[in-house]
Amino acid sequence: MAALAFRRRPAVWLGWLIGLAYVIYAAAQLDLSWPRFLLGLDNGAKFLDRMFPPVIIQPDTMAKGLLESLEIALLASVLGVLLSLPIGIMGARNLMPWWVSTPARTGVALCRSFHPVIVAIVFVKAVGFGAMAGILTLTVASIGFIGKLFTEAIEEISPKQVEAVRATGAPFVSLLSYGVFPQVMSRFVGFASYQVDSNLRNSTMVGIVGAGGIGGTLFSAFQRYDYDFVCAIILAIVAMIMIGETLARWVRRILDVDAKSGDD
Amino acid sequence: MTEPRMPLLAQAPGTAQLAPPRTWVRFSAAERAARWLLLVVLLAAVILSIRHVEVIPEFLWDAPAQMHDLLSRMWPIDWSFYGPGVHQPLIETLHIATLGTVIAIVLAIPIGILSAGNIVRAKSLNLLARLILVASRSVNSLIWALLFVGVFGPGALAGTVAIACRSVGFVGKLIGEALEECDIKAVEAIRATGAPPMTVLAKAYWPQVAPTFWSVALFRWDINVRESAVLGLVGAGGIGMALDTAMNLFQWDRVSLILVAIFVIVLAAEVGVTQLRKRIL
């Protein structure tokens, strides 16, 4: 079979060869070698040994961090949803003149282009250490995600309803609420619920650069070599995210939103 | 995935006894109650969070001045640093993202197959595979990186393994779902010829999932370029390490150069992936 395929599509095999060559080259560049990996596994065994059994050394700090992560995720999601609704509408080229849609789209693209951690660094500098920086960071991330998808959803709507409403002489707000929203609201809610999920994941991480939440607790435990506490915190994070996913699924079911698989 | 909803069939026995409502309502009483409850819980949670979360107002008033200070330190950008200090880590970042994605795909294929209930009939294996996938996705790549810096020491190896570990869950989940949605006809046709399981996978399932597979792989690579750019903040190699050093030394004009470099590489990756997707899918 392979020989047949080879005769038929040499380009495919060439592609695989180039891919393989790249992998070997890149591995060499990064100094990833088998002995190093084995040495790492050896270290890893020691590391795991120190991680288990997990111990909650500072229960208060951990509970506070987890709660703060939750609060950051929740508030950032609410703020992000509230802001991305108008921004998403402003970006839609079928509703807005170019001098409104272009700035809105550029803003959303800017919000998307940096990883939350980098945004968090800037906000930590701007508003100081703590939850506020985390909230602002994840708000920016939410606008980037929901704003983009919402704009795209609006641009895909059927223009018939919009024109019918417009033909009655309805003002712009009525145009939105009767012509546009009925067509896109369920998708908007879907995007928002995924963003809540994603914010919850990221709220456990922004603390690494000082933007509040459990990430800070985790990072300092790590730097103190309290690996058993690190393990406990990671398990708690995983549990929290799994509970969050389940809750988000319930919410989607209650709101009857199309549940497409998504992540991040 | 969602179970198909059949409101007519499902509601018919219950509603048959009731008198037909005079006015049409969009949702049943239970649905409306659930929606109200959701709203109330959400509002309560938001209010409690606002009251509880620690925000220091003085810092907030200070923000414009701080931002001004930051921007004035970042400008002018120290372009001359690109050659000696940025180019090499930037390439390293790309290697980390690509190798991490490749390793993730190699690991995700068997786990994805194990998680697909229509291919592997053992429920316990499905559950085990799904547990691995969920665990992989639940831990942020920065946290994975933190762990692997502990295991392998600082450097690109930790970053690559971290990227791989985080991506396995993503790729594996989507592969598994694509496999479960496969049309059974082709599978049965191939199986009827007496083909061994590997051939069934290669000839019946693979052609059906190949487009999803490539698009997931490209998508994940794009995400990984973004993520590998920051892994260095915890010591896992790449451009993030240069960023961390520059920030710790308060060399903000170099920080701005690195941010521009990250911006460009992320943008280039996104444009590249979009073009490639158009070309091959």
Q: So where are chain B's domains?
A: 7-50, 86-280
Pick from B181, B223, B231, B213: nearest CA to B106:
B213
Strand, helix or coil for residue B9: helix
The mean per-residue pLDDT over the stretch B241-268 comes to: 88
Q: Which residues contact A50 (CB under 8 A, 6 or more apart)?
A: A225, A227, A228
Residue B243 identity:
L
Per-residue pLDDT tens over the stretch B128-150: 988 888 888 888 888 889 888 88
Q: What is the pTM of this model?
A: 0.79
Ramachandran class of A212: left when φ > 0, alpha when ψ lies in -120 to 50, beta otherwise: left
Q: What is the pLDDT of residue B18?
A: 60
The segment with the largest mean pLDDT, out of A25-39, A181-195, B67-81, is A181-195
Q: Does the beta-carbon distance from B53 to A254 stay under 8 Å?
A: no
pLDDT reading at A116 higher than 80 = yes
Q: Out of A41-55, A229-243, B209-223, pick the least confident.
A: A41-55
How far apart, in whole angstroms, are the C-alpha atoms of residue B55 and residue B69?
21
Confidence of residue A80 (pLDDT cuts 50, 70, 90): very high
Q: Does the beta-carbon distance from A75 to B53 stay under 8 Å?
A: yes
How far apart, in whole angstroms, are the C-alpha atoms of residue A181 and residue A145?
19
pLDDT reading at B11 higher than 80 = no
Q: Out of A99-103, A257-261, B30-34, pick the least confident.
A: A257-261
Per-residue pLDDT tens over the stretch B198-215: 888 888 888 888 888 888
Q: How many CB atoms lie within 10 A of CB B203?
A: 16
Longest Cα separation, chain A: 75
Per-residue b/e over B169-189, b at no fewer than 16 CB within 10 Å?
bbbbbbbbbbbbebeeeebee
Q: Out of A207-211, A220-224, A237-241, B6-10, pick the least confident.
A: B6-10
Q: What is the pLDDT of residue A139?
A: 93
CATH of B86-280, one of 1.10.3720.10, 3.30.1490.100, 3.10.300.10, 3.30.540.10: 1.10.3720.10
Q: Out of A31-40, A176-185, B199-208, B265-274, pick the least confident.
A: A31-40
Chain B residues 14-73 with a CB less than 8 Å from chain A = 31, 34-35, 38, 45-46, 49-50, 52-56, 59-60, 62-63, 66-67, 70
Q: What is the pLDDT of residue B163?
A: 93
**Hey, what domains does chain A have and what are their CATH numbers?**
2-51 (no CATH), 59-255 (1.10.3720.10)
Q: Does the beta-carbon distance from A205 to B142 stay under 8 Å?
A: yes
Contact A67, A204 (CB under 8 A): no
The per-residue DSSP string of A49-68 comes to: HHH-S---S-HHHHHHHHHH
pLDDT reading at A140 higher than 90 = yes
Q: Which two tokens stand for residue A42?
A: 């050896």
Residues of A in contact with B95 (CB under 8 A): 26, 29-30
pLDDT reading at A83 higher than 90 = yes
Q: What is the pLDDT of residue B20?
A: 63
How far apart, in whole angstroms, are the C-alpha atoms of residue B66 and residue A120?
14
pLDDT reading at A97 higher than 50 = yes
Average pLDDT of chain A is 84
The mean per-residue pLDDT over the stretch A41-62 comes to: 81
How far apart, in whole angstroms, are the C-alpha atoms of residue B236 and residue B148?
8
Q: Which two tokens stand for residue B34?
A: 């659930």
Residues of B in contact with A258 (CB under 8 A): 2
